[in-house]
């Protein structure tokens, strides 16, 4: 680790607890201070520069209208592996307004002339979106009058310039993709900030120490990431015909970004409303059923095939996750040849006709998947439906074909665990039996997920950003296989302005934004996933050479990630301390 990098990282830790707690924990009131208030006016009147620039903690979401309480820092240092993506937060603020603000990144070079190209760097301007708070219950209809709402910096948009209004703050997310072939060494580069009102550019210094360790490419990561995709939300957002060429072109930026984070599963609604979205009825079945005149069934899998082939072309190919509805009363639509019309039928889950319908659907699906060569990659999935519903689904699928696997998201049921290939359980009620089963579970996966009922650890827009990374460290500490999240891009009506929804806490339904825009939460989640991989690699290596000292140092670090510690110690502080140790090994 470079001397500069070490100093900067240690300095970050010293001030981290105070900085992180300056941002409210879930459930606290976070009303924005208006720029027109007397206190804000006095603070802004002291800002004499046309544009102030500083590196700041990436664990803090800064108010849009308050003068940031930070000392301007023009140096940033980080230690990383070859093949890793690292990031930092910059802050720009102006008392008088600034136009045509742009960031220019140089190549990074070692003293020997080795380079990391500027093309490996990106700087995205962060957009403020409306957020609320967790409140008393994150799963009930949201009553805005009872919830404190405020704009928070979350969406990361990549555009060449931005204008900063008078007495406002503009966060920036800086990313560096260190290529796998990059030689180990100490690299130095610069970020130059320009604006029409600046008499001279502002120059910031980047110091990166690249270790000789190699992080494999995302498709090879062991961390099982599954964030459920909503293709129809993209069509709605861009007013496009679903499954048209234009629709797939519009989906590519967001889905490619997901693939680059190591996404393993392709989300496929097998029945209508199999998944709940931010808006109703967007998760329609990707299978079009026809009831023939003789009462037999046929199926059109065109939408499913187009979607699967598209996602596979991006590198997402581990699992076809076919979801069936968990509702107690379910609606099925089909084309009826006898009446030459679309029919909609309601059935009670668990009824005989419901079982017969699902069986017919699965039999048609099985024949199609076998013809495509996809059956052994397919899981029939259910979420939060209870043990009896899960047991009935297991029995039904077994009768249709033993080639399927079963995936369940919800409460852990030990007596059916051997029939479930991938179990996703919430960290908060993480059963002791589930933790014991994490050892020697015969190739079955055990992941954590974020239910709407849990405030912490969270990936909401109001959550401390480091909690997204903390979740991955928690998975590593408990021998878990990955992370499941109900929604990746199930956007509301105005996602780039408002992250709130009618039924869930803000940010629950999306981690990404339209047009390929990332988020602060998404970048921190990626950081955590990479750390998970690095932990696994180092523990394997330490065991191989019997490096007891370093192995114990890393295992001691993992033991600091407990739900109890999260209540008293900010996630950002725990993660940063762990990362310093991890990157020193």
pLDDT, residue 429, reads 54
Q: Are residues 204 and 234 in the same domain?
A: no
Alpha carbon of residue 177 to chain centroid: 18
To which residue do tokens 């050892």 refer?
439
CB 134 within 8 A of CB 462: yes
**In angstroms, how far is CA 104 from the centroid of its own chain?**
28
CATH number at residue 347: 3.20.20
pLDDT at 144: 74
Same domain, 213 and 226: no
556: three-class secondary structure by DSSP: helix
User: Measured between alpha carbons, how far is 321 from 374 in angstroms, rounded to an integer?
Assistant: 11
Asked if 135 and 47 count as a contact pair (C-beta separation under 8 A), the reply is no
**Residues 240 and 108 both lie in one domain:** no
The answer to whether the CB of 571 falls within 8 A of the CB of 525 is: no
Sequential pLDDT tens for the chain (585 residues): 444 444 344 434 434 433 333 333 333 334 344 445 888 889 999 999 999 999 999 999 999 999 999 999 999 999 999 999 999 999 999 999 999 999 999 999 999 999 999 999 999 999 999 999 999 889 988 987 789 999 999 999 999 999 999 999 999 999 999 999 999 999 999 999 999 999 999 999 999 999 999 999 999 999 999 999 999 999 999 999 999 999 999 999 999 999 999 999 999 999 998 999 999 888 999 999 999 999 999 999 999 999 999 999 999 999 999 999 999 999 889 999 999 999 999 999 989 999 999 999 999 999 999 999 999 999 999 999 999 999 999 999 999 999 999 999 999 898 898 899 999 998 875 544 565 565 555 678 999 999 999 999 999 999 999 999 999 999 999 999 999 999 999 999 999 999 999 999 999 999 999 999 999 999 999 999 999 999 999 999 999 888 999 999 999 999 999 999 999 999 999 999 999 999 999
Distance separating alpha carbons of residues 476 and 529, to the nearest angstrom? 10
Query: How far is 549 from 581, CA to CA, in rounded Å?
Result: 13
Angle value at C-alpha 329, between 325 and 332, nearest 5 degrees:
65
**Residue-level pLDDT at 91:** 98
Residue with the two structure tokens 């990659």? 377
* Same domain, residue pair 201 and 296: no
Using CA atoms in the order 391, 394, 395, 396, what is the torsion angle rounded to 10 degrees? 120
DSSP string covering 253-278:
HHHHHHHHTTB-EEEEE-STTSS--S
Which residue in the block uniquely carries the two structure tokens 């990282």? Answer: 9
- Phi/psi for 506 (5° steps) reads -60, 130
Tokens of 245: 């060429």
Nearest to 169 by CA among 72, 67, 44: 67
Tokens of 382: 């259910």
Run of H or E residues at 553:
helix 548-558
pLDDT at 544: 85
Contact 412, 191 (CB under 8 A): no
Of 180, 198, 218, the domain-final residue: 218
Report the CATH number at residue 211: 2.60.40.10
d(CA 444, CA 405): 10
For 323, 532, 536, 544, the CA distances from 549, given in Å and listed in that order, are 46, 20, 16, 13
Q: Are residues 450 and 513 in the same domain?
A: yes
Residue 212 burial by Cβ neighbours in a 10 Å radius (0-12, 13-18, 19+): exposed
Are 435 and 527 in the same domain? yes
Domain boundary among 218, 238, 257: 218
Same domain, 454 and 388: yes
Q: Greatest CA span in the chain, whole angstroms? A: 81
Are both 202 and 251 inside the same structural domain?
A: no
- Residue 347 domain boundaries: 222-584
The residue from 151, 184, 218 where one domain ends is 218
- Predicted structure pTM score: 0.93
pLDDT of residue 442: 63
Q: How far is CA 513 from CA 128, 138, 245, 310, in A?
A: 12, 21, 21, 20
Q: Locate tokens 């208006």: which residue? A: 34
Element (H, E) at 478: none
Structurally, how many domains does the chain consist of?
2
Structure confidence at residue 229 (pLDDT): 98
Residues 170 and 459: their CA atoms lie apart, in Å, by 22
From residue 368, alpha-carbon distances to 315, 317, 400 in Å are: 22, 17, 13
Two structure tokens written together for 220: 């090879």
User: Quick one: how many helices (H) and strands (E) in the chain?
Assistant: 13, 25
pLDDT at residue 436 in the model:
55
Find the length of the chain: 585
C-alpha distances (whole Å) from 46 to each of 36, 97, 227, 315, 583 are: 15, 14, 45, 52, 40
What value does the CA radius of gyration of the chain take, rounded to a whole number of Å? 25
Q: Print burial letters for 516-545: b (CB count within 10 Å at least 16), e (below 16).
A: bbbbbbbbbbbbbbbbbbbbebbbeebeee
Q: Are residues 231 and 214 in the same domain?
A: no
Both 202 and 239 in one domain: the answer is: no
Q: How far apart, in whole angstroms, are the C-alpha atoms of residue 274 and residue 333? A: 13
Q: How far is residue 365 from each of residues 285, 287, 293, 399, measured CA to CA in Å?
A: 12, 9, 21, 14
C-alpha–C-alpha distance, residues 266 and 261, integer Å: 14
3-state helix, strand, coil in the chain (%, to 5): 35, 25, 40
**Same domain assignment for residues 200 and 226:** no
Q: How far is CA 16 from the centre of its chain?
A: 23
Domain co-membership, 76 together with 107: yes
Q: Which residues contact 168 (CB under 8 A, 6 or more apart)?
A: 35, 64, 65, 93, 94
């Amino acid at each position: 680790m470079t001397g500069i990098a070490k100093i900067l990282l240690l300095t970050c830790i010293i001030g981290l607890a105070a900085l992180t707690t300056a941002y409210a924990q879930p459930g606290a009131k976070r009303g924005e201070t208006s720029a027109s208030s007397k206190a804000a006016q006095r603070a802004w009147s002291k800002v004499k520069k046309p544009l102030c620039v500083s590196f700041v903690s990436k664990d803090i979401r800064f108010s849009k209208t308050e003068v940031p309480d930070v000392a301007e820092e023009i140096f940033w240092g980080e230690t990383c592996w070859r093949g890793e993506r690292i990031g930092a937060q910059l802050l720009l603020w102006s008392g008088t307004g600034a136009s045509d603000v742009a960031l220019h990144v140089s190549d990074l070079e070692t003293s020997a002339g080795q380079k990391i190209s500027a093309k490996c760097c990106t700087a995205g301007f962060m957009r403020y979106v409306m957020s609320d708070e967790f409140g008393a219950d994150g799963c009930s209809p949201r009553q805005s009058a009872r919830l404190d709402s405020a704009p928070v910096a979350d969406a990361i948009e990549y555009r060449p310039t931005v204008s900063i209004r008078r007495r406002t703050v503009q966060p920036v997310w800086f990313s560096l993709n260190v290529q796998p072939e990059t030689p180990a060494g100490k690299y130095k580069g610069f970020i130059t900030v320009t604006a029409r009102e600046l008499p001279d550019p502002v120059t910031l210094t980047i110091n990166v120490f690249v270790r000789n360790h190699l992080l494999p490419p995302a498709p090879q990561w062991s961390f099982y990431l599954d964030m459920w995709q909503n293709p129809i939300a993209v069509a709605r957002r861009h007013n496009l015909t679903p499954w048209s060429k234009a629709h797939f072109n519009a989906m590519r930026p967001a889905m490619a970004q997901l693939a680059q984070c190591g996404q393993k599963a392709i989300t496929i609604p097998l029945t209508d409303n199999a998944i709940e979205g931010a808006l109703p009825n967007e998760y329609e079945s990707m299978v079009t059923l026809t009831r023939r005149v003789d009462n037999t069934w046929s199926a059109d899998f065109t939408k499913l095939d187009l979607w699967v082939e598209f996602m596979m072309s991006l590198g997402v190919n581990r699992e076809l996750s076919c979801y069936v509805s968990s509702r107690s009363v379910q609606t099925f639509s089909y084309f009826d040849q006898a009446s030459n019309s679309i029919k909609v039928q309601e059935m009670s889950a668990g009824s005989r006709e419901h079982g017969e319908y699902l069986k017919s659907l699965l039999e048609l699906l099985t024949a199609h998947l076998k013809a495509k060569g996809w059956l052994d990659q397919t899981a029939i999935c259910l979420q939060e439906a209870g043990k009896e519903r899960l047991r009935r689904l297991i029995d039904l699928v077994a009768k249709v074909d033993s080639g399927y696997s079963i995936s369940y998201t919800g409460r852990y049921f030990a007596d059916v665990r051997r029939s479930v290939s991938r179990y996703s359980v919430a960290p908060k009620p993480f059963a002791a039996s589930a933790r014991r089963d994490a050892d020697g579970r015969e190739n079955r996966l055990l992941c954590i997920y974020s239910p709407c009922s849990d405030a912490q650890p969270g990936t909401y827009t109001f959550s401390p950003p480091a909690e997204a990374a903390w979740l991955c460290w928690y998975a590593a500490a408990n021998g878990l296989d990955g992370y499941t999240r109900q929604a990746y891009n199930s956007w509301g009506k105005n996602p780039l302005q408002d992250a709130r929804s009618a039924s869930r806490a803000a940010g629950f339904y999306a981690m990404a934004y339209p047009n390929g825009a990332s988020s602060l939460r998404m970048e921190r989640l990626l950081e955590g996933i990479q750390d998970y991989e690095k932990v696994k690699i180092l523990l394997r290596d330490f065991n191989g050479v019997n490096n007891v000292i370093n192995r114990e140092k890393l295992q001691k670090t993992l033991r600091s990630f407990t739900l109890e510690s999260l209540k008293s110690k900010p996630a950002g502080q725990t993660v940063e301390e762990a990362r310093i140790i991890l990157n020193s090994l």
